[in-house]
Structure 1
Amino acid sequence: MKKNIYSGDYLMSLSDLRYLPRWIVLIIDLLIVTLAIAFSCFLIEKLTHSTHHVFFHNLYMYLTILGVSLVFMVVFHTYSGIIRHSTFIDLFKLLLMTFCTTITVGLINYIYYLGTGQWLIMLWLPYLLVFFAASFILLFMFRLFVKEFFYLARMFRRSTLRKRILVLGIDEQAVAVASTIIENPTLPYHIVGFLTQRQDYKRANLLGKPIYSVEKIESSTKAELLLDGVLLVKEMMTKEELNAWVNLFLEKGLQVFMAPSVQQLKNPSDLQTSIRKLEIEDLLNRKPITIVNDDLKIRHFEKSVLITGGAGSIGSEIVRQVATLNPSLIVVLDQAETPLYEIEMEMKSKFPDIHFEFVLADISNRHRLEPLFQKYNFSMVYHAAAYKHVPLIEENPHEGVLVNILGTKNLATLSSQYGVNRFVMVSTDKAVKPTNVMGATKRAAELFVQALQNTENNKTKFITTRFGNVLGSNGSVIPHFKKQIEKGGPVTITHPDIVRYFMTIPEACDLVLQAGTMGKGGEIFVFDMGEPVKILDLAKRMIKLSGFEPNVDIKITYTGLRPGEKLYEELLSDDAKTLATHNEKILISKDPNMEFKAIEQYTNQIIKAALRREKIQVVLLLKEIVPEFKSNNSIYEVLDK
């Protein structure tokens, strides 16, 4: 309540009034009738050139007409409706009331003449005709004025709340979107004009709106422009163009809004829910990798597929994409109960014709996994289950070993034993020259899978995919920043110089699926992640996109590197060679590998140490398995000395 008072909510707005009491409306109507009587008297006297003012001084005439009008106002309830919502029915009631009043007054005037020999109203027929017209028009105009006043008040109030925006572009898409907004007054946007880079449109108008040049925006401040933001259609431009425009808008303090193309809208009214603020993902997202590969359909059609970690960010998207390929069965395995239930509900709703099995299980338990391989005869296994949070695994290295190494070993050996055609493992760029336990466990898992490829009697093709941070995945930096900004800050960054590679969830899953068809066995596929993103710049952009100023509205604070964290991630180790594929964005990393006998011995040792919760021994063995593993900002740094 206090907040509302100080924010100005205590001010009364006429447009907020519910309605006038009926007796006030009745009094106003009688005053209007009085005005109509006086106007009729004035007009008749002017027309007859009378100088005696017999009409104005005839009090009985006023009282008679007002009395009769009051009776018919009550009879027809002309005062009972809410004036601002007057309809044709209310207008018809006014017409009946004034007509009946005029006829009745005429009868009274004639009866008075028969009884007294004098006219109560001189020139009664012309006078009554003028009175009828004047009273009806004045009563109607009063209601029309009130109705229009409240409409304009609502429109004015709505326009002050609507965001004043420019539409980027003058092509058909931009004009179509702007036209849809202009024609829909319920949308919270007011189109001020259009924005273009072209110079030959400075004096032209579109839809009655001016066209602004880039120079106008660059040379003016937000206050001079009287703008709140800019609306753009993302499909109209490349990533580079989008970034350039957004940089300009954010520099001027303008909000950036995204609209779909008109063709994407099933109904123009959907535009209200389709326009949204530009998200940081829109700027980081690249054109997805697409490989036209019929082999992808062939390898999944009518086949049995196992997806571990199927309730996670990556795993659930793999489930969605595989479901479109019409497999005979998808087994979704995860140890997180609630997310597994949620993906079950989603899949049964979206793909009712696909056979799913949802299995709650821990991949470190081989006895739980083997019956699945015996029963379902999997053709493809997508292994996305893993512990991935660096600080947590740094504190609990034994848990990381049990899931990331033992779990992978269980799935890989069972896949080989039961003749799975292809085993695709999801790895991470943190496995390259790891500085933390999590990355080292993933690299050890990579070594085991690669070594298993070359064992005798193995027919399974073991394939590894390696990529960087995934936008929107559980625990990723962008959702974390969003929550901090929503709370008013501060936004916390571990180090001002830290950089990361980013890709979208669909991109990551597309890589996993394509690698499953491209691989011949034993490869590590790496993805061209583009340019790395400085996390500080990412945070500043997100703050600006939310309509705030970094370090003014939302503070940015530095917390220091977390245990095991490094400034720069790498997709390839220093001594790794790369091989090109038929897609320039996908490479094969030829990392050093290990003999199966050696890695099996190491994994047996480290698993025993993990089961005994021997943290130091676990990390020491990890450093033997992965010699390039050098701890950073961690209690395990002493082991490197």
Structure 2
Amino acid sequence: MIRHLTTLPRNTKRAISVGIDIVALTFSYAFALFVRYEQVFIPQDADVYWAFLLALPVSLLLFVRLGLYRAVVRYMALSALLVITSGVLTSALVLAAAVWSLNADVPASVVINYALMSLVLVGGLRLLMRALYEQKVSRRKTRVIIYGAGSAGRQLAQSLLNGGEFHPIAFLDDDPTLQNSTMLGIRVFSPKQIEEVLEHYEPKLVLLAIPSAARSRRKEILEYLEPFKVTVQTIPGMSDVVSGKMRIDELQDVRIEDLLGRDPVEPRKKLMEVNIRGKAVLVTGAGGSIGAELCRQIVQYEPSMLVLVEVSEYNLYAIEKELQEYVHQHELDVLIKPVLSSIQNQNRLTRTMQRFHIETVYHAAAYKHVPMVEFNIVEGVRNNIFGTFRTAQAAISAGVQDFVLISTDKAVRPTNVMGATKRFAELVLQGLASRKDHQTHFSMVRFGNVLGSSGSVVPLFRRQIAEGGPVTVTHPDITRYFMTIPEAAQLVIQAGAMGSIAARAEGNNGGQVFVLDMGEPVKIVELAQKLIRLMGLEIKSKENPHGDIEIVYTGLRPGEKLYEELLIGENVLESEHKRIMTARELSLPWREIELYLEQLDTLCFEFKVHDIHTLLQQAPLAFQPTSAICDLTWQPKLKTKVADMQDLDDELSKN
């Protein structure tokens, strides 16, 4: 019946509401008379009836005027109850006025009882209908627990109660003053009672409604919830809700940042502004994950101009459009200039830097995927080494003040070509910094994996879990450092500023290698296990053959190593920023670097992949490859079938 009523046309439902109110008001008046005279009393004075008959249509018109019939009963809020109260009190006043004008024999107590009974019936019937509807609908909704009974938790609960997908059945909260209380008809439990709650209510989800909690605290909560077989999701941050980007009931999977528990450090405004505010800034690789975030951070500190250099047309279009919208929305006086170019095109880069009078360059463009560079060695060397060299040469020619290279932890004792090329790029910049024929300050910033970048394992794991597994991990002992892209970009900018300040103070061209504090390394398999459990699933193994998701080890990929490092030696100095360190490492005179570059250039031109590989091992890079050469367009000198036939003919002719 309830379901049938909710499907009726709106006008039909309004007509039913009016009919119910007529019956309710009539009964209330009759009840008030009965209470007054304590018997089924029918007064002889007809004005007693006329007074009510006059008051009834006026009361209904007032109800319409107050919007009582516009309120949807199943979504009726406190404001609707206030409207009902106002309508009933006004109806009582109208009845009193009708009684007075007709001089009817109706005592004041009848009017008062009429008002009270009308309030009970008119409001109570609506509440009853709402309760019946919610009870009916809640049986079909997914039962959830909300962790956090604060403002965000209550807003979420209210939103879910009005929605059609989830039904909150309990709150969990650490605050002892809230425990054992009831909010929105939902009881608040202590987190220690979670087993009891799970057993009694059998929910499918636990929703984290603690958007303002520190990541370290969120990590503690997630670790506490992990052993229980229930899916854990979170609500958006309050900044996203307030800005209108997301609704509070838009649930999200647990973010990897919460699992790591690494709290970001507020960036220092002075360092963020040194190389940016009021300056012309250029970012290479502006459409990549790191480059794009650098651009987002840079534009907030209002450079006079931001030049985006990118080889991918679509990526350049996407980041340029995003930044233009941001500048327009925040009314910033920043010019955005998109330049389509390869970093290997020195003439194009020089012209660009001269044309826009560039003062600061952030060099983020590089080939970073280890297997891809292993399969394409010549292009990896061309882009990562010569691309960096030519970009730096362009900066020197254009009189750029500061040049910051985004490096990688894979440059430390590299086991793959990608890491070797990035370490070589560092040596190139250190060599250029040692020269006295220019005024460009060089610095390098080295860090590990960033969350959410292209090729990140987390989206892959989520997709594999959603598809029912298996989850693929290369090795049970493989570990990696992780950092969020925004934090990495902020620290890169601050480290570059520190390098510039130090170079000016010491009267040289810099050449410092900065290393970001990445926190503790994370075992990739443990990360996969956490994601599986927090999605309410069990790990399938020999010990648990009936589990949901299996973890399969696929073996290390070409050039991949188990553990990444950030330092080549132990010679590291702390800086004024607690998450930025300075590494003191080997550097070479520019003449030696130049000789290596000349040899590499020739070998790349002649496509001598084996000789390139050998040269990278001979150079002071500490390059120790863990796999054989696997470039896709190169192969060892093997005899072909034609050569074999020629050899056979030679042998026959001899005999």
- Same fold, judged at TM 0.5 (above): yes
User: Is contact 2:371-2:559 (8 Å) kept?
Assistant: yes
User: Is contact 1:301-1:325 (8 Å) kept?
Assistant: yes
The residue type equivalent to 1:156 in the other structure is K
User: Is contact 1:15-1:150 (8 Å) kept?
Assistant: no
Q: What corresponds to 1:194 in structure 2?
A: 172
Q: What corresponds to 2:539 in structure 1?
A: 550
Q: What corresponds to 2:592 in structure 1?
A: 598
User: Is contact 1:288-1:507 (8 Å) kept?
Assistant: yes
User: Is contact 2:452-2:485 (8 Å) kept?
Assistant: yes
- 2:283 is equivalent to residue 303 of structure 1: no
Give the secondary-structure state (helix, strand or coil) at the position aligned to 2:558: coil
1 CA distance for matches of 2:238 and 2:422?
46
Shift of 1:396: 0.9
Q: What corresponds to 1:579 in structure 2?
A: 573
Q: What corresponds to 1:347 in structure 2?
A: 323
Q: What corresponds to 1:490 in structure 2?
A: 470
Stretch of structure 1 that moved more, 413-422 or 156-165: 156-165
Deviations 1:224-262 (A, max 9, x none): 4533314331423451x3222212212112333334677
Deviations 1:159-184 (A, max 9, x none): 5314321333xxxxx33233324444
Q: What corresponds to 1:536 in structure 2?
A: 525
Deviations 1:444-475 (A, max 9, x none): 00011011101122311110000000000111
Shift of 1:215: 3.2
2 CA distance for matches of 1:196 and 1:147?
32
Shift of 1:627: 4.5
Match runs of 1:189-338 below 5 Å: 189-196=167-174, 198=176, 204-205=181-182, 209-217=186-194, 220=196, 222-227=198-203, 228-237=205-214, 239=216, 241-259=217-235, 265-266=241-242, 271-284=247-260, 286-338=262-314
The residue type equivalent to 1:598 in the other structure is E
Deviations 1:370-420 (A, max 9, x none): 211232221101000000010110011101001000100001122223221
Deviations 1:53-112 (A, max 9, x none): xxxxxxxxxxxxxxxxxxxxxxxxxxxxxxx999xxxxxxxxxxxxxxxxxxxxxxxxxx
User: Is contact 1:619-1:636 (8 Å) kept?
Assistant: no
- 2:449 is equivalent to residue 469 of structure 1: yes
Match runs of 1:131-210 below 5 Å: 152-153=132-133, 155-158=135-138, 160-168=140-148, 174-184=149-159, 185-187=161-163, 188-196=166-174, 198=176, 204-205=181-182, 209-210=186-187
Shift of 1:350: 1.0
Q: What corresponds to 2:81 in structure 1?
A: none
Alignment gaps of 5+ in structure 2:
20-39, 41-71, 75-120, 504-509, 541-546, 637-655
Shift of 1:307: 0.5
1 CA distance for matches of 2:327 and 2:4?
54
The residue type equivalent to 2:296 in the other structure is R
1 CA distance for matches of 2:295 and 2:359?
15
User: Is contact 1:311-1:339 (8 Å) kept?
Assistant: yes
Give the secondary-structure state (helix, strand or coil) at the position aligned to 2:549: coil
- 2:423 is equivalent to residue 443 of structure 1: yes
Shift of 1:149: 6.4
The residue type equivalent to 1:448 in the other structure is V
Shift of 1:580: 1.2
2 CA distance for matches of 1:269 and 1:559?
39
User: Is contact 2:208-2:232 (8 Å) kept?
Assistant: yes
2 CA distance for matches of 1:510 and 1:263?
19
The residue type equivalent to 1:248 in the other structure is Y
2 CA distance for matches of 1:332 and 1:261?
30
Identify which of 617, 620, 629 aligns with 2:623. Answer: 629
Give the secondary-structure state (helix, strand or coil) at the position aligned to 2:455: coil
Shift of 1:202: 6.2
User: Is contact 1:255-1:545 (8 Å) kept?
Assistant: yes
Q: What corresponds to 2:83 in structure 1?
A: none
Q: What corresponds to 1:373 in structure 2?
A: 353
1:604 to 1:262, Cα distance in 2 relative to 1, 3 A: closer
2 CA distance for matches of 1:411 and 1:330?
17
User: Is contact 2:156-2:249 (8 Å) kept?
Assistant: no
1:14 to 1:544, Cα distance in 2 relative to 1, 3 A: farther
Q: What corresponds to 1:418 in structure 2?
A: 398
Deviations 1:4-28 (A, max 9, x none): xxxxxxxx97678668xx9xx99xx
User: Is contact 2:286-2:310 (8 Å) kept?
Assistant: yes
Q: What corresponds to 2:507 in structure 1?
A: none
2 CA distance for matches of 1:389 and 1:261?
32
Give the secondary-structure state (helix, strand or coil) at the position aligned to 1:314: helix
The residue type equivalent to 2:151 in the other structure is A
- 2:511 is equivalent to residue 525 of structure 1: no
Give the secondary-structure state (helix, strand or coil) at the position aligned to 1:414: helix
- 2:558 is equivalent to residue 563 of structure 1: yes
Shift of 1:322: 1.2
1:543 to 1:404, Cα distance in 2 relative to 1, 3 A: same
The residue type equivalent to 1:585 in the other structure is R
2 CA distance for matches of 1:518 and 1:15?
69
Larger radius of gyration: 1
Give the secondary-structure state (helix, strand or coil) at the position aligned to 1:522: strand
1:146 to 1:513, Cα distance in 2 relative to 1, 3 A: closer
1 CA distance for matches of 2:474 and 2:551?
10
Give the secondary-structure state (helix, strand or coil) at the position aligned to 1:236: coil
1:424 to 1:627, Cα distance in 2 relative to 1, 3 A: closer
Alignment gaps of 5+ in structure 1:
1-11, 30-46, 48-83, 87-140, 169-173
User: Is contact 2:311-2:342 (8 Å) kept?
Assistant: yes
Q: What corresponds to 2:95 in structure 1?
A: none
**Length, aligned pairs only:** 525
- 2:444 is equivalent to residue 455 of structure 1: no
User: Is contact 2:373-2:417 (8 Å) kept?
Assistant: yes
Shift of 1:146: 12
Identify which of 354, 364, 371 aligns with 1:384. Answer: 364
2 CA distance for matches of 1:606 and 1:321?
36
Q: Percent identity over the alignment?
A: 36
Give the secondary-structure state (helix, strand or coil) at the position aligned to 1:235: coil
